[in-house]
Amino acid sequence: MPGRTWELCLLLLLGLGSQAALPPPCESLIYCHGELLHQVQMARLYQDDKHFVDMPLSSTPDKVLQRFWELSQAYNHSIPKQKLQEFLKDHFQDVGQELQSWTPGDWKDSPQFLQKISDTKLRVWAGQLHQLWKKLGKKIKPEVLNHPEQFSLIYLNHPFIVPGGRFVESYYWDSYWVMEGLLLSEMAETVKGMLQNFLDLVKIYGHIPNGGRVYYLQRSQPPLLTLMMARYLSHTNDTAFLQENIETLALELDFWTQNRSVSVNFGGKNYILNRYYVPYGGPRPESYSKDAELADTLPEGDREALWAELKAGAESGWDFSSRWLIGGPNLTSLSSIRTSKLVPVDLNAFLCQAEELMSNFYARLGNDAQATKYRTLRAQRLATMNALLWDEEKGAWFDYDLENGKKNLQFYPSNLAPLWAGCFSDPVVADKALKYLEDSQILTYQYGIPTSLQKTGQQWDFPNAWAPLQDLVIRGLAKSLSPRTQEVAFQLAQNWIRTNFDVYSQKSAMYEKYDITNGGKPGGGGEYEVQEGFGWTNGVVLMLLDRYGDRLTSGTQLAFLEPHCLVAALLLNFLLSLLPW
């Protein structure tokens, strides 16, 4: 392609043509690698590095790069900040120009689930969250399709719901909980469009990128596409849509098998499981200056590996957490990150669930051979997870450290992901999980389940709590046949609802994460300020209000007791709620 050849020539001229150990996140010399990206991001012209890589071009990449080359030459490859600002003003557009607000056509005033909510304040609040789908709706303008080279945004044919705040494009795993909320809001057509977008991405790239920008292309996120399809089918019974796209669903799972598998020797046997792994170099474009500064603390030969591990951490969705620092030299420094050296419980639980769903899908479509294939894969994964990740004494699953040959026994809600995913064979594990939560003192937290018990300053650590992780634990426990375990699931739901409701009452906003100390407030830590919106937080709240709406209240929280007293108190609370007074 002539344009690309010109770019390669320019790359050599700029002195950046030496072979890096790893390829860049994408080919763009503006949005993914190269001197232009480096100079702009290291000048810190914006509070958030994501701002620059989201700015559309005003003309073709060739013209912009040519002008930058001339400017860089004039200032000996060190352009003054003011000149850089003028250059950006002349050659780039403001963020968001390529997107337009969109009100979903299937939005309706009063979906049925609202009637199930007994508490008047919670019902009004749920109605306000239902209104937020209109605020979070986006549609990509046609010029992105006509001139894709001038945008970092990846064109999607159908409108979608965004998380909110700085996240103005489509995101992979966020969208699962968004879709759950949309389906409760009776917006199945919106969900189908979002599903089709993801299926289209698989057809083009072989997988679903982390988010809808070119700089996310080489990393994915937790694989929930198959589950999205299952939830859509449960609401619509649209078997024709499944039939059209079953092979694309299979293609996405093949990506994880072919690119994210790892062999583990344990007890004299070899096991195959999956990990997060992104062998692409350079700083993350959307966090360029932070990644570059962090790399400066390491020997030059270790920098590419650091950047690859940071991308793997972003692929996990947990960017970032002590979970990926355990076993490294410094638990509080991201320079210790080693994501790809761990076999994550939740990733393998999601894939186990996907294999079961694929078996069911193929059986539904009459393809017994494929149904048997996925049933066998699921059985193999289940046995492997039991052998490698399950801890009978503790009653939970744990990430496996490949380098140190042992489980990471720290607490994370993801340790119970197999319960949520239905990836277990013994129903008693739900009750063992309850004891694990008691032993870990998790039930003493009154405002939500913490993401970890490590306080590192990273956003996926204490004291932050995240909506999807509440869902993993609550729905996992709710699968128990034991009334006491089910009652704890309800109380955890009640805690989370009140935290979200109380913060909303004060701030008139929903947040991506919450700080569960001192009564609950918007979360913090990590690489950017806490964001409002917020897609998956809204979705989880609507799910809990739908499931427990006849019992949830907006009033004072049940005072928490010692774990051994908690279950008795919860049962008493439940029995009292049945009385007529």
The dihedral region occupied by 399, where left means phi > 0, alpha psi between -120 and 50, and beta the remainder, is: beta
- Domain boundary (366, 397, 425) is at 425
The two structure tokens encoding residue 530? 């806490």
Choose among 293, 324, 323: nearest CA to 310.
324
Residue 557 pLDDT greater than 90, yes or no: no
Q: Per-residue confidence at 420, pLDDT binned at 50, 70, 90?
A: very high
* Distance from C-alpha of 89 to C-alpha of 92, rounded to nearest angstrom: 6
Q: Are 433 and 303 part of one and the same domain?
A: no
> What pLDDT was estimated at residue 330?
87
Q: Are 499 and 520 in contact (CB under 8 A)?
A: yes
Give me the percent of the chain exceeding a pLDDT of 90. Answer: 90
Residue/partner pairs of 75-83 with CB below 8 Å, 24 or more apart: 77/35, 77/39, 78/39, 79/39, 79/43, 81/43, 81/45
Q: Are 192 and 171 part of one and the same domain?
A: yes
- Domain boundary (425, 444, 475) is at 425
Q: Are 158 and 195 in contact (CB under 8 A)?
A: no
Q: Are 562 and 447 part of one and the same domain?
A: yes
> What pLDDT was estimated at residue 125?
98
Q: Please name the amino acid found at residue 317.
A: G
**Angle between helices 467-478 and 535-548 in degrees, nearest 10:** 30
Residue 128 lies in a domain: no
Q: Are 362 and 488 part of one and the same domain?
A: no
Q: Per-residue confidence at 562, pLDDT binned at 50, 70, 90?
A: very low
Give Cα 60 to chain centroid, integer Å.
33
Task: Characterize 43-66 residue by residue with b for buried, 16 or more Cβ atoms within 10 angstroms of its Cβ, and e for exposed.
Answer: beebeebbebbbbbbeeebeebbe
Backbone angles phi, psi at 448, to 5 degrees: 150, 165
Please list the active-site residues: 319, 512
Residue 268 pLDDT greater than 50, yes or no: yes
Q: Are 440 and 411 in contact (CB under 8 A)?
A: yes
Count other C-beta atoms under 10 Å from residue 128's C-beta: 12
Dihedral angle sign, alpha carbons of residues 203, 187, 129, 496 = negative
CA angle 191, 196, 197 (to 5 degrees): 100
Q: Is residue 517 helix, strand or coil?
A: coil
Report in angstroms the alpha-carbon separations of 313 from 142, 222, 322, 336: 33, 11, 11, 12
| Helix, strand, coil percentages for the chain (3-state, nearest 5) | 55, 10, 40
- Secondary structure tally for the chain: helices H, strands E: 21, 13
Q: Are 444 and 511 part of one and the same domain?
A: yes
Choose among 149, 256, 133, 251: nearest CA to 191.
133
Residues 228-245 have a mean pLDDT of: 98
Q: Are 511 and 534 in contact (CB under 8 A)?
A: yes
Q: Are 266 and 235 part of one and the same domain?
A: no
Q: Per-residue confidence at 328, pLDDT binned at 50, 70, 90?
A: confident
Residue 432 lies in a domain: yes
Helix (H) or strand (E) segment spanning residue 432: helix 429-439
Choose among 73, 100, 80: nearest CA to 162.
100
Count other C-beta atoms under 10 Å from residue 484's C-beta: 16
Task: Tell me which residue range forms the domain holding 360.
Answer: 261-276+339-425
Residues 332-341 have a mean pLDDT of: 96
Residue 328 lies in a domain: no
Backbone angles phi, psi at 315, to 5 degrees: -65, -30
**CB-based burial of residue 19 (10 Å sphere; 0-12 exposed, 13-18 middle, 19+ buried)?**
exposed
Alpha helices in 92-187 (DSSP H): 120-135, 142-146, 172-184
Residue 116 lies in a domain: no
Residue 565 pLDDT greater than 90, yes or no: no
Residue 325 lies in a domain: no
Backbone angles phi, psi at 405, to 5 degrees: 65, 40
Q: Are 150 and 226 part of one and the same domain?
A: yes
For strands 406-407 and 400-401, give the pairing: antiparallel
Residue/partner pairs of 259-268 with CB below 8 Å, 24 or more apart: 259/207, 260/347, 262/343, 262/402, 264/343, 264/388, 264/400, 264/402, 266/387, 266/388, 266/405, 267/387
Q: Are 525 and 395 part of one and the same domain?
A: no
Residue 156 lies in a domain: yes
- Domain boundary (425, 443, 467) is at 425
pLDDT digits (tens, 9 = 90+) for 445-495: 999 999 999 999 999 999 999 999 999 999 999 999 999 999 999 999 999
Q: Are 303 and 433 part of one and the same domain?
A: no
Q: Which residue spans within 235-354 are E strands per DSSP? A: 261-266, 269-274, 342-343
518 Cβ partners below 8 Å, 6+ apart?
none
> What pLDDT was estimated at residue 126?
98
Average pLDDT, the chain: 93
> What pLDDT was estimated at residue 568?
53
pLDDT digits (tens, 9 = 90+) for 80-136: 999 999 999 999 999 999 999 999 999 999 999 999 999 999 999 999 999 999 999
Quote the number of domains for the chain.
Answer: 4
Q: Are 418 and 424 in contact (CB under 8 A)?
A: yes
Q: Is residue 562 helix, strand or coil?
A: coil
Q: Per-residue confidence at 19, pLDDT binned at 50, 70, 90?
A: very low
Going by the DSSP 8-state scheme, the letter that residue 164 receives in this structure is B
Q: Are 163 and 207 part of one and the same domain?
A: yes
Q: Per-residue confidence at 406, pLDDT binned at 50, 70, 90?
A: very high
Q: Per-residue confidence at 228, pLDDT binned at 50, 70, 90?
A: very high
* 303 vs 331: which has the higher pLDDT: 303
Residues 336-350 have a mean pLDDT of: 98
> What pLDDT was estimated at residue 21?
77
Residue 331 lies in a domain: no
Choose among 522, 456, 442: nearest CA to 488.
442
Residue 109 lies in a domain: no
The two structure tokens encoding residue 488? 């704890």
Q: Are 456 and 562 part of one and the same domain?
A: yes
Going by the DSSP 8-state scheme, the letter that residue 300 receives in this structure is G
Q: Are 250 and 191 part of one and the same domain?
A: yes
Residue 3 pLDDT greater than 80, yes or no: no
* Distance from C-alpha of 340 to C-alpha of 260, rounded to nearest angstrom: 9
The dihedral region occupied by 437, where left means phi > 0, alpha psi between -120 and 50, and beta the remainder, is: alpha
